[in-house]
Amino acid sequence: MSSPFTRRKFIQANSVALLATQLPAGGAAAETAADPDKLAKAGGAKAVKAKPGRRVRWDDREKQQLGSAVDQASLFYWAGGKPNQQTGLFIERFKQYCPSEHVVTCSSGTAALHIAIAAAGIGPGDEVITTPITDIGTVTGILFQQGVPVFADLGASTYNLDPASVERSITLRTKAIIAVHLTGAPCDMSALQAIAQKHNLVLIEDCAQAWGAQVRGKPVGSFGHVACYSLMDSKHICAGDGGVVASSDKRIGPALLKFSDKGNDRMAPGNAWDKTGVLATNYRMSELQAAFAAVQLQRLEGIASKRAALGRLLIEGIGNLPAVLPPRIAAADRATFWFFYFRLKLDRLKCNRAEFVEALRAEGVSCNAGYIPVPVYKLPYFQQHSFFAGRWPIKELGLTAMDYTKVKCPEAEAILSTGIQMPLHEAMDEALIRESAAAIRKVAKAYTT
Ligand SMILES: Cc1ncc(COP(=O)(O)O)c(C=O)c1O
């Protein structure tokens, strides 16, 4: 069979290409070289040429550990008064990562938070202060325990709880604070610890997005009374789904297990679930997930340190732009960037956010406008107070006067309406991050007034 692409055509095609590279300046390439500021969306050269590497999130090590679990006689987390093998291994490694006396594996980050809230004794009408920019899993546990989520406002460039707003939100009914380390950036834990101590509040850390993040060298989760982590598939490390809740607090720690396992404390001698007096659902994690997660924990430091370094580099690359507000991470802290989020100062731009995103994408930057569509208090079941079959019993009973239609957190709303989200992960390299920063600088320069 003869090739459709003859030797003569090959020589012709390549000669034309070769000639083109040797032509005097004047073509599109020359124009680009002469005008590096020309936006890719207007025909200029793309700022980003590097591509992210392929993330290898698990491999033979997880397979091998799963294999050892499959060889066991039972895949239940408990084995006669102590954790079963895989759960025990995970707990041991988690304790090395985030030292805590009581560590309980569970089915999700949402479960971890519900367990924490229940173990903290949150009951009907009790108020829990948290952020309006988070996954709904942060607040479902409060609502299911008949507590009242109270939303405080956020720092403009930390996207985390503003301690002053938290303090202003405290009432006689406040029982706890849930600090969410959004995007993997640590909250101001010293300030939140001081507030919790002053007002005798339970401080819960939602570390779902912040595996490996540190405050002054210590992992997030070691500052509050309870730490909650998620092992959902998209997190830094995962088990497909899963969660961990941990505490060294004498009041809360011993109660965690009961609230994860229908009232059972199977580790306690003579456990009798019908005598604990605790109504709780089943949030157990199986040995298969624990086996997988135990290996994932060994990958964590590599993932966290790489993301932390890339994120810092990106922040440096977009600092000092009049129309861009990069995230602010305290010098002594380590953010691990579940994703990267920065804001636009729209009053300094002659484009809107959608146009900025479109221009960035044309430059080769993967990005999206915003994060969650609205602050949590604007969700319909908050606005209608209709959490349980269209009703909210504690409001009907007068146990709370909360009216979510009146809640307003201006900075949180501005963070959502002016922010741009970019993926950032450990398979990226410095070249890609430097080019991404150059793309943001280029687009910002083109549109800054
Ligand atoms: C901040 C935060 N809290 C809680 C959760 C809930 O975790 P899960 O999906 O494992 O229930 C998530 C999940 O994305 C989260 O990002």
| pLDDT in single tens digits along all 449 residues of the chain | 334 444 444 444 444 444 444 444 445 555 555 699 999 999 999 999 999 999 999 999 999 999 999 999 999 999 988 999 999 999 999 999 999 999 999 999 999 999 999 999 999 999 999 999 999 999 999 999 999 999 999 999 999 999 999 999 999 999 999 999 999 999 999 999 999 999 999 999 999 999 999 999 999 999 999 999 999 999 999 999 999 999 999 999 999 999 999 998 888 877 776 677 899 999 999 999 999 999 999 999 999 999 999 999 999 999 999 999 999 999 999 999 999 999 999 999 999 999 999 999 999 999 999 999 999 999 999 999 999 999 999 999 999 999 999 999 999 999 999 999 999 999 999 999 999 999 999 999 999 99
CB distance 153 to 411 below 8 Å: yes
CA 185 remoteness from chain centre: 9
Residue 145 bridge partners (DSSP): none
Q: Identify any residues that bridge with 105 across adjacent strands, giving them in sequence order.
A: 244
Cα 138 to averaged position of ligand 1 atoms, centre (Å): 7
CA-CA distance, 292 to 129, in Å (whole number)? 34
Q: How far apart are CA 295 and CA 61, in angstroms?
A: 7
| Rounded distance from Cα 234 to ligand 1 centre (Å) | 10
Tell me the CA–centroid distance for residue 110 and ligand 1, in Å. 6
Phi-psi region of 33 (alpha: psi -120 to 50; beta: other; left: phi over 0): alpha
Domains located in the chain, CATH noted: 60-297 (3.40.640.10)
Q: Which atom of ligand 1 is nearest to the CA of 243?
A: 10
Do 71 and 82 meet the contact criterion of CB atoms below 8 Å apart?
no
3-state secondary structure of 205: strand
Query: Is 337:315 a contact under the CB 8 Å cutoff?
Result: no
Ligand 1 centroid to Cα of residue 117, in Å, is 15
Residues within a 6 A CB radius of ligand 1? 108-110, 134-135, 137-138, 180, 206, 208-209, 230, 232, 243
Whole-number Å distance between alpha carbons of 193 and 146: 25
**Which ligand 1 atom minimizes the distance to the CA of 338?**
16
Spatial distance between the Cα atoms of 260 and 107, rounded to a whole number of angstroms: 9
CA nearest 449: which of 350, 309, 343? Answer: 350
